[in-house]
Amino acid sequence: MKKFILTLCGFFAVICANAQGVYEDTRHEVAVSYGTLANSQWIDVLEEVVIAMTGATFDNERFLGPVAFEYFYHASNWLGVGGVFVVGNSVQDVLKDNVKDGRYIHSYYTLMPAVKFDWLRREHIGMYSKLAAGATLRREKTDSSLAEDNDPRTDFHFNFQVSLLGFEAGGPTTRGFVELGMGEQGIVLLGLRHKF
Protein backbone atom coordinates (compact mmCIF):
# COMPACT_ATOMS: atom_id res chain seq x y z
CA MET A 1 0.00 0.00 0.00
CA LYS A 2 2.90 2.40 0.73
CA LYS A 3 4.21 1.97 -2.84
CA PHE A 4 0.71 2.71 -4.18
CA ILE A 5 0.44 5.91 -2.11
CA LEU A 6 3.94 7.04 -3.10
CA THR A 7 3.12 6.42 -6.78
CA LEU A 8 -0.05 8.54 -6.57
CA CYS A 9 1.83 11.31 -4.74
CA GLY A 10 4.48 11.25 -7.48
CA PHE A 11 1.76 11.50 -10.13
CA PHE A 12 0.29 14.49 -8.28
CA ALA A 13 3.73 16.17 -8.13
CA VAL A 14 4.24 15.73 -11.91
CA ILE A 15 0.85 17.30 -12.63
CA CYS A 16 1.68 20.25 -10.36
CA ALA A 17 5.10 20.75 -11.99
CA ASN A 18 3.75 20.68 -15.55
CA ALA A 19 0.45 22.53 -15.14
CA GLN A 20 0.32 26.12 -16.30
CA GLY A 21 -2.32 28.78 -16.39
CA VAL A 22 -3.68 31.86 -14.71
CA TYR A 23 -5.99 31.43 -11.73
CA GLU A 24 -9.02 32.88 -13.50
CA ASP A 25 -8.70 30.31 -16.28
CA THR A 26 -8.41 27.24 -14.04
CA ARG A 27 -11.10 24.63 -14.49
CA HIS A 28 -9.39 21.55 -13.03
CA GLU A 29 -7.98 20.84 -9.60
CA VAL A 30 -6.25 17.89 -7.96
CA ALA A 31 -5.59 17.48 -4.25
CA VAL A 32 -4.02 15.11 -1.76
CA SER A 33 -4.88 15.15 1.96
CA TYR A 34 -4.42 13.32 5.25
CA GLY A 35 -7.18 13.21 7.85
CA THR A 36 -8.01 12.06 11.36
CA LEU A 37 -10.90 10.07 12.84
CA ALA A 38 -12.34 8.68 9.61
CA ASN A 39 -15.46 6.51 9.47
CA SER A 40 -13.24 3.45 8.97
CA GLN A 41 -11.43 4.17 12.24
CA TRP A 42 -14.77 4.30 14.08
CA ILE A 43 -15.78 0.98 12.48
CA ASP A 44 -12.52 -0.55 13.74
CA VAL A 45 -13.29 0.60 17.29
CA LEU A 46 -16.78 -0.95 17.19
CA GLU A 47 -15.40 -4.24 15.87
CA GLU A 48 -12.78 -4.30 18.61
CA VAL A 49 -15.54 -4.08 21.20
CA VAL A 50 -17.33 -7.08 19.63
CA ILE A 51 -14.13 -9.13 19.33
CA ALA A 52 -13.16 -8.27 22.92
CA MET A 53 -16.20 -10.30 24.02
CA THR A 54 -14.28 -13.43 22.93
CA GLY A 55 -11.56 -12.63 25.47
CA ALA A 56 -9.18 -10.91 23.04
CA THR A 57 -7.43 -7.64 23.75
CA PHE A 58 -5.57 -5.40 21.32
CA ASP A 59 -2.29 -3.54 21.45
CA ASN A 60 0.14 -1.66 19.24
CA GLU A 61 -2.44 -0.30 16.77
CA ARG A 62 -1.05 1.41 13.67
CA PHE A 63 -3.48 3.27 11.41
CA LEU A 64 -2.32 4.72 8.10
CA GLY A 65 -4.75 7.18 6.64
CA PRO A 66 -7.11 8.30 5.63
CA VAL A 67 -5.06 9.44 2.64
CA ALA A 68 -7.33 11.01 0.01
CA PHE A 69 -6.85 11.97 -3.63
CA GLU A 70 -9.35 14.32 -5.28
CA TYR A 71 -10.16 15.63 -8.72
CA PHE A 72 -12.70 18.36 -9.48
CA TYR A 73 -13.79 19.99 -12.72
CA HIS A 74 -15.24 23.48 -12.21
CA ALA A 75 -18.35 23.80 -14.31
CA SER A 76 -18.65 27.35 -12.96
CA ASN A 77 -16.77 29.61 -10.52
CA TRP A 78 -18.77 28.23 -7.60
CA LEU A 79 -19.47 24.59 -8.54
CA GLY A 80 -16.97 21.76 -8.95
CA VAL A 81 -17.89 18.16 -9.78
CA GLY A 82 -15.52 15.24 -9.47
CA GLY A 83 -14.51 12.41 -7.21
CA VAL A 84 -12.54 11.38 -4.14
CA PHE A 85 -10.47 8.22 -3.65
CA VAL A 86 -9.50 7.38 -0.05
CA VAL A 87 -7.19 4.64 1.28
CA GLY A 88 -6.60 3.53 4.86
CA ASN A 89 -4.98 0.62 6.64
CA SER A 90 -5.15 -0.59 10.25
CA VAL A 91 -2.86 -3.21 11.82
CA GLN A 92 -2.91 -4.24 15.48
CA ASP A 93 -1.70 -7.09 17.64
CA VAL A 94 -4.24 -9.52 19.11
CA LEU A 95 -3.40 -10.57 22.67
CA LYS A 96 -4.56 -13.69 24.51
CA ASP A 97 -3.71 -13.74 28.22
CA ASN A 98 -1.41 -10.75 27.58
CA VAL A 99 0.62 -12.72 25.00
CA LYS A 100 0.63 -11.85 21.31
CA ASP A 101 -1.60 -14.36 19.49
CA GLY A 102 -1.70 -12.81 16.02
CA ARG A 103 -2.61 -9.68 14.07
CA TYR A 104 -5.82 -8.00 13.03
CA ILE A 105 -5.50 -6.24 9.64
CA HIS A 106 -8.01 -4.01 7.88
CA SER A 107 -7.57 -2.23 4.53
CA TYR A 108 -10.07 0.31 3.18
CA TYR A 109 -10.49 1.61 -0.37
CA THR A 110 -13.22 4.20 -0.93
CA LEU A 111 -14.44 5.81 -4.15
CA MET A 112 -16.97 8.65 -3.94
CA PRO A 113 -18.44 11.03 -6.54
CA ALA A 114 -18.34 14.52 -5.06
CA VAL A 115 -19.43 18.13 -5.44
CA LYS A 116 -17.59 21.19 -4.16
CA PHE A 117 -19.19 24.58 -3.54
CA ASP A 118 -16.70 27.47 -3.65
CA TRP A 119 -18.34 30.34 -1.81
CA LEU A 120 -15.19 32.46 -1.63
CA ARG A 121 -12.78 32.21 -4.57
CA ARG A 122 -9.97 34.75 -4.63
CA GLU A 123 -6.47 34.75 -6.08
CA HIS A 124 -4.74 33.68 -2.84
CA ILE A 125 -7.50 32.39 -0.55
CA GLY A 126 -10.71 30.42 -0.84
CA MET A 127 -13.48 28.95 1.28
CA TYR A 128 -15.73 26.08 0.30
CA SER A 129 -17.94 23.18 1.32
CA LYS A 130 -17.82 19.63 -0.07
CA LEU A 131 -20.20 16.67 -0.23
CA ALA A 132 -19.26 13.15 -1.33
CA ALA A 133 -20.97 9.76 -1.16
CA GLY A 134 -19.95 6.35 -2.45
CA ALA A 135 -18.77 2.92 -1.38
CA THR A 136 -15.89 1.42 0.57
CA LEU A 137 -14.24 -1.91 -0.22
CA ARG A 138 -13.06 -3.32 3.10
CA ARG A 139 -10.59 -6.21 3.34
CA GLU A 140 -10.17 -7.89 6.71
CA LYS A 141 -7.61 -10.50 7.77
CA THR A 142 -7.13 -12.02 11.22
CA ASP A 143 -4.41 -14.54 12.04
CA SER A 144 -5.32 -15.41 15.62
CA SER A 145 -6.47 -18.57 17.39
CA LEU A 146 -9.35 -16.52 18.84
CA ALA A 147 -10.89 -15.90 15.40
CA GLU A 148 -13.61 -18.21 14.12
CA ASP A 149 -12.22 -17.96 10.59
CA ASN A 150 -8.76 -16.76 9.55
CA ASP A 151 -9.62 -16.53 5.84
CA PRO A 152 -9.55 -12.98 4.41
CA ARG A 153 -12.95 -11.33 4.14
CA THR A 154 -14.03 -8.66 1.68
CA ASP A 155 -17.18 -6.57 1.78
CA PHE A 156 -18.62 -3.26 0.62
CA HIS A 157 -20.42 -0.60 2.60
CA PHE A 158 -21.80 2.89 2.01
CA ASN A 159 -19.53 5.80 2.91
CA PHE A 160 -19.56 9.58 2.72
CA GLN A 161 -17.74 12.84 3.45
CA VAL A 162 -19.39 16.09 4.50
CA SER A 163 -16.92 18.97 4.82
CA LEU A 164 -18.90 21.97 5.98
CA LEU A 165 -15.95 24.35 6.08
CA GLY A 166 -12.83 24.26 3.93
CA PHE A 167 -10.22 27.00 3.89
CA GLU A 168 -7.36 27.22 1.37
CA ALA A 169 -4.51 29.70 1.07
CA GLY A 170 -1.38 30.09 -1.03
CA GLY A 171 -0.54 31.02 -4.59
CA PRO A 172 -2.90 31.47 -7.48
CA THR A 173 -2.69 27.80 -8.44
CA THR A 174 -1.07 25.80 -5.60
CA ARG A 175 -2.46 26.04 -2.07
CA GLY A 176 -2.53 24.34 1.28
CA PHE A 177 -5.94 23.65 2.80
CA VAL A 178 -7.70 22.51 5.95
CA GLU A 179 -11.22 21.07 6.13
CA LEU A 180 -13.57 20.47 9.04
CA GLY A 181 -16.36 17.94 8.66
CA MET A 182 -17.03 14.25 9.08
CA GLY A 183 -16.80 11.10 7.02
CA GLU A 184 -14.24 8.84 5.41
CA GLN A 185 -11.69 11.64 4.88
CA GLY A 186 -11.88 12.49 8.58
CA ILE A 187 -13.09 15.17 10.96
CA VAL A 188 -10.04 17.38 10.34
CA LEU A 189 -7.94 17.03 7.20
CA LEU A 190 -4.92 18.88 5.86
CA GLY A 191 -3.73 18.83 2.31
CA LEU A 192 -2.30 20.40 -0.81
CA ARG A 193 -4.33 21.44 -3.87
CA HIS A 194 -3.30 22.44 -7.38
CA LYS A 195 -5.55 24.19 -9.90
CA PHE A 196 -4.85 24.19 -13.63
Find the CATH number of the domain harbouring 80.
2.40.160
The residue ranking higher by pLDDT, 179 or 102, is 179
**Structural domains of the chain, count:** 1
Is 80 exceeded by the pLDDT of residue 187?
yes
Name the band, by pLDDT with cuts 50, 70 and 90, for residue 10.
low
Q: Average model confidence (pLDDT) for the chain?
A: 84
Q: How far apart are CA 30 and CA 19, in angstroms?
A: 11
pTM of the predicted model as reported, rounded to 2 decimal places:
0.80
Q: How far is CA 78 from CA 47, 73, 83, in A?
A: 40, 11, 16
Q: Which domain holds residue 125?
A: 2-195
Is 50 exceeded by the pLDDT of residue 26?
yes
